[in-house]
Amino acid sequence: MIRKRLDALAQMMDEYLAMPFPNGFRGLDVEGQDMVMLDADTAGYVYRVLDGPLPEPSREGLIRLVGVFEKVLPAISEEYASKYYTRARDVAVLAAEIEAMRNK
């Protein structure tokens, strides 16, 4: 079960990384969140989940990251950027679900 989800996560991550970063979002803060750092944090957590179980502090960080998306997504009005960050959120959510499964 986890293997299938990890494969799906890897595929989703590849699709996400193939998307160009949204114009105008470098150096931009949305709801107090640096959007480049949000992008980088997402990639970092996902790659670590793909490598194996996260230690507890990192699992908590991943959960916080998912919460950040819920805060910033409604504030993004530009269509492509909204699509980009929604994809990033979906990747982070799947990574968090995998970690929750591992922790059972």
CB atoms within 10 A of CB 32: 8
Is the per-residue pLDDT at 1 higher than 90? no
Is the per-residue pLDDT at 104 higher than 80? no
pTM of the model: 0.94
Confidence of residue 103 (pLDDT cuts 50, 70, 90): confident
Contact partners, residue 83, CB within 8 Å, separation at least 6:
none
Distances (CA, A) of 38 to 15, 44, 104: 17, 10, 28
Report domain extents, the chain.
2-102
Bigger pLDDT: 104 or 63? 63
Q: Which two three-digit tokens encode residue 102?
A: 């591992």
Is the per-residue pLDDT at 2 higher than 80? yes
- Which pLDDT score, from 0 to 100, does residue 63 have? 96
10-68 residue pLDDT tens: 999 999 999 999 999 999 999 999 999 999 999 999 999 999 999 999 999 999 999 99
- The backbone torsions φ and ψ at residue 34, rounded to the nearest 5 degrees and listed phi first, read -70, 120
CA–CA dist 53, 63 (Å, integer): 14
- Which pLDDT score, from 0 to 100, does residue 32 have? 95
